[in-house]
Amino acid sequence: MTEAPQIRPAGGASYSRIHGVGGYRPVRVIPNSEVLTWIESSDEWIRTRSGITERRWAGPEETVSEMSVQAAGKAIAQAGIDPAQIGGVIVATVSHFKQTPAIATEIALRLGCGTAPAFDISAACAGFGYGLSLADGMIRGGSAEYVLVIGVERLSDLTDKSDRSTAFIFGDGAGAAVVGPSDTPGIGKVIWGSDASQKDVITQTEAWDTAFAKPDAVNGPGAEIKWPALRMDGQPVFRWAVWEMAKVAQQALDAAGITADQLGAFIPHQANMRITDAMIKALKLPDSVPVARDIAETGNTSAASIPLAMERMLESGEAKSGDLALIIGFGAGLVYAAAVVTLP
């Protein structure tokens, strides 16, 4: 009897790592004093509740595509490769409003990535971690040598300036990382998942189809249709992030075989300074480990926050190339992703 033919196994790299990182921050700075012209609050209240003093909001020319290209260009240059060597472009975003095509295809074209597969993922503030896991699998599985992972948001487009609970939180920006082959492990096991039982605690006010299908009787003749916005039930999110995400972060450390005192940096999603402080305490993180606190100047940039913070820590010297960093993202869904990575 003739044996069935065997599929040739894919030949990928043994390991992967981040080779380069880059970021883009919009020019316009929105201080708390400007936010206070929209809502009844105080600078002290905003700082105490979130740790935010200012955020960046994109202008008309600072599109999702443009910010991504700028951030990716820096990451590619740091990685020391040609854009044509990129075998995959993954864009994590919730603020690209065209259903199709994916914005990743336009970004790949603008960067000169040839015929690389390009696609978007919607995983909110965990988007960069999700993209990192996919890139690691693509490289070790042999479908790409280098993969570009981008987290980008224009959350100002989804911010209701009259909502006292969210108007001060969100910012815009893009962060990118080039992931490629490595002789040694550079990305630990990504601990990722979701808890859909709490899917309604962070959500868009309404779906696009219902928002734009309202008759004039609802909006008023000739009235401008109110743009859907982000809504968040802060207390459940805070409790979930503090208690559940500290466990996930510890799982990522354990999976990588790393202890907290061996870290060179802790780079959590920039959601809230109080959440960061609580996670530090839960993880028993030594004072010697630098912690990203970019939320003070950038606000919550969702999928962009981890790569943006990673770039700043490396540029400032707060963290060094070759250091081990614990990253964790969490947000709407509720979704999460954590891993230990070697900094480029």
Active-site residues, by number, are 125, 269, 300
Phi first, then psi: give them for residue 271, nearest 5 degrees: -100, -45
8 A C-beta contact, residue 128 and residue 149? yes
* 212, 224, 35, 238 alpha-carbon torsion, rounded to 10°: -20
DSSP string, 180-194: EEESS--B---EEEE
Phi first, then psi: give them for residue 146, nearest 5 degrees: -130, 140
* Nearest-angstrom CA–CA distance, 37 and 145: 50
Angle of helix 103-111 relative to helix 64-79, nearest 10 degrees, comes to: 50
Per DSSP (E only), the strands in 195-323 are: 202-204, 230-232, 265-268
Residues 6+ apart with CB under 8 A from 331: 123, 124, 125, 126, 202, 269, 271, 302
* Nearest-angstrom CA–CA distance, 263 and 340: 9
CA distances from 29 to 122, 160, 176 (A): 26, 18, 21
Closest of 207, 237, 190 to residue 332, by C-alpha: 237
